[in-house]
Amino acid sequence: MLAVLLVALGVAMLAGVGLGAVRVGAADVFEAIGRMVSGTPKMAGDAVIVDIRLPRVVLAALVGACLATAGVLYQALFRNPLADPYILGMSAGAGLGAVIALTLTAGATAFRFGAVPLGAFIGAVLTIVVVVRLASLKGVLDVTSLLLAGVALSYVLAALTSFIMVFFRESMTTIVFWMMGGLTAASWPYVLTVAPMFALGSAIPLLATREMNLLLLGEERASELGVDVERFKRLLLASGSLLVAGAVAVSGLIGFVGLMTPHIVRLVLGPDHRMLLPASAIAGAIVMVLADLAARTILAPVELPVGIVTALVGGPFFIWLLVRRGVGR
């Protein structure tokens, strides 16, 4: 099954690079990539492939893989299929960090390229640190307190974001577009920023899929079977937070990928994390590459924020999930 998903990802990425305002054939794509890898001088038209579309498609795949993997981790941590990567307030924290960066660079837009992702990353990380601190009582990380602290802090951070937007209205349009999510600023430096975060954030859980399966039985049962539950919960939280912070920093807020992708994979492959985790990462990459392709081409030359595309697909799926859960009770 993983081989099938990898083939599908390859096809999706090839379509993402080849389709757009200027269509490029598959042979031209491979030849341009070959020249880039070998260091051969570029041909006319290579810049569109290797400098614009390829980094964007690779970044979309990484962001999708990060969000889907984080979704699997949070759903295992909370033992709740409706948990998503933004459930702990990281989206609100990242949004506030980005808004502050956008406001401070209003008169110096050249600095926004680095300042906005950095601000979003710092906001997301600080939020999760505060939430974990609030939910930790006597060294024990209570999952319910973690969820409640995340929700409460989200409201506070969202209010602060709105407050800043009201007082700096000239930046409101830019802020709103960033918060809808997008990959228009994609570049190889962004790819090189997210790639190691994805590698580190996903490698650790991949080595602990047995513990994740045992955690689904409940914390007490997992502890009886040899899992250091408190240490493992913090490990999952740190890995998921690293993945989400990396994705948010380069793409803004893109919803539903981390929620719906694990569910689709779970329906097909079952709940075993040995397969669910890698399959969700690949499936998330496919979803984001196709969503970004749709965002670029549906109303071309106008480009939609990719968050709108994922929300239009993810919203109905979420409603269907709720209805299905209600029928099953």
Using one digit for the tens of pLDDT, what is the confidence trace for 205-223? Answer: 888 888 888 888 887 888 8
> For 241, left (φ over 0), alpha (ψ -120 to 50), or beta?
alpha
Half-sphere exposure of residue 91: CA atoms within 13 angstroms, side-chain side: 19
- Locate 16 and state its tokens: 């993402």
Q: What is the pLDDT of residue 296?
A: 86
Nearest to 322 by CA among 276, 271, 259: 259
Cα–Cα dist 257/60, whole Å: 12
Q: How far is CA 204 from CA 229, 237, 240, 263, in A?
A: 15, 11, 10, 21
Strand partners, 141: 136
Per-residue pLDDT at 21:
74
Whether the bond into 301 is cis, omega within 30 of 0:
yes
In order of 35, 84, 138, 295, the CA distances from 230 in angstroms are 50, 21, 12, 41
Helix, strand or coil, per DSSP, at residue 141: strand
3-state secondary structure of 4: helix
Residue pLDDT, tens place only, 237-273: 888 888 888 888 788 888 788 888 888 888 888 888 8
Cβ–Cβ < 8 Å for 86, 66: no
Q: Which run of H or of E encompasses 136? A: strand 136-137
Taking Cα atoms as reference points, which of 128, 92, 80, 122 lies closest to residue 239? 128
SS3 state of residue 140: strand
In the chain, which stretches have pLDDT less than 50? none
Q: What is the DSSP letter of 49?
A: I
On whether the CB atoms of residues 310 and 256 are closer than 8 A, the answer is yes
C-beta separation of 181 from 310 below 8 A? yes
The Cα 111–Cα 258 span in angstroms is 30
pLDDT at 325: 62
| Residue 3 buriedness (CB in 10 A; 0-12 / 13-18 / 19+) | exposed
How far is Cα 8 from Cα 283, in angstroms, rounded to an integer?
9
Q: How far apart are CA 325 and CA 84, in angstroms?
A: 17
Contact 239, 207 (CB under 8 A): no
DSSP 128: H
For residue 21, give both structure tokens: 């305002």
DSSP type of residue 169: G
Give me the amino acid identity at 133. R
Helix (H, G, I), strand (E, B) or coil at 106: coil
pLDDT at position 282 is: 94
Q: Is residue 137 helix, strand or coil?
A: strand
